[in-house]
Amino acid sequence: MKTRSNLERVLEARHFAVTGELGPPPSADPEVIGSKAKFLKGNVDAFNVTDGQTAVVRMASWAAALLGKEEGLEPIVQMTCRDRNRIALQMDVLGIAALGINNMLCLTGDHQKFGNHPTAKGVYDVDSIQLVKMVRDMRDEKKFQSGDDMSVEPCLFIGAAANPFADPFEFRVTRLAKKVAAGADFIQTQIIYNVDKFAEWMKDVREKGLHEKVKILAGVAPIKSMGAARYMKTRVPGMDVPDSVLERLQGVPKEQVSREGIKLCVDIIEQVRQIEGVAGIHLMAIEWEEVVPEIIAAAGLLPRPGVSA
């Protein structure tokens, strides 16, 4: 064990891991974290706290993570390179480790153009792969990016993202290999609706032996409405929503679409679970946290092993 992470413990014991996601509020209201956390507690091994997702200003990821931790959950702090240079990133890495947070997910970040402050200056001093390596060197070599030494290292279980559906497809596994070489311990993928394409990607992953070097959590998310499905299909870059998904949701009466969306999510979990090399799922019920207990139960993933009380 590299860290005290519950997620690492679950994965090392070869349990099928479950991570959830919690979006901090665009306000200073701590109650939001508590009310969302109660749907995740006991149902996930750890939960991601997003870092200004879609480039919209929200409560700081580390602060919301700490509030969630106080509710008895294990946080994964997401950290993007959009808003911080290498100085700020390393300061935050030290800070979250000192707060007893055990996991971090390294991301380049959604471009500022997509958010509510599109005229902001993007930082991008380093990219996600360089960030992974920087945190790994801090943890394993006790060195800052400058090469300076530190006395107490940040013991973080290091995550990174992978998008099997972005272009060019042939290169996506090469980029995953680069993240693994840089030091990623676990990977959370883009939301999967095209299971066949994901399976094809996993085949490439296995051919390179990467599933033995890194724990891969398959990204899944329930669809709430036809509008959401269409939006993801046409407007969200890097998402692959096949026509068959739209047809399945269209095939039920309007008031049952969200039920069907939940069933579809459970079906996808069962399908990705059969794919060799998939170590768990990352369930992103964004602004719909209340359905997490039902989905995890229906997928037969309860009780969670060794979830901290």
* Footprint of another protein (CB under 8 A): 81-82, 86, 108-109, 111, 113-114, 122, 124-130, 133-134, 145, 161-163, 166-168, 171, 174-175, 177-178, 181-182, 190, 237-238
Task: For the CB of residue 278, give the shortest distance to another protein in the complex, in Å.
Answer: 19
Q: Closer to another protein at the Cβ: 187 or 296?
A: 187
Contact between 128 and 31 (Cβ < 8 Å)? no
Q: Closer to another protein at the Cβ: 102 or 189?
A: 189
Task: For the CB of residue 12, give the shortest distance to another protein in the complex, in Å.
Answer: 26
CA 105 – CA 13 distance, rounded (Å): 21
Task: For the CB of residue 130, give the shortest distance to another protein in the complex, in Å.
Answer: 5
Closest residue by Cα to residue 287 from 35, 12, 31, 27: 35
Q: Closer to another protein at the Cβ: 213 or 273?
A: 213
Task: For the CB of residue 208, give the shortest distance to another protein in the complex, in Å.
Answer: 11
Q: What pairing do the DSSP bridges indicate for beta strands 103-107 and 186-191?
A: unpaired
Task: For the CB of residue 95, give the shortest distance to another protein in the complex, in Å.
Answer: 20
Task: For the CB of residue 140, give the shortest distance to another protein in the complex, in Å.
Answer: 16
Task: For the CB of residue 102, give the shortest distance to another protein in the complex, in Å.
Answer: 25
Q: Closer to another protein at the Cβ: 22 or 180?
A: 180
Q: What pairing do the DSSP bridges indicate for beta strands 46-49 and 17-22?
A: parallel
Label residue 231 exposed, middle or buried (CB < 10 Å: 0-12, 13-18, 19+). Answer: middle
Task: For the CB of residue 229, give the shortest distance to another protein in the complex, in Å.
Answer: 18
Q: Closer to another protein at the Cβ: 68 or 154?
A: 154
Q: Closer to another protein at the Cβ: 95 or 122?
A: 122
Q: Closer to another protein at the Cβ: 49 or 162?
A: 162
Q: Closer to another protein at the Cβ: 109 or 280?
A: 109
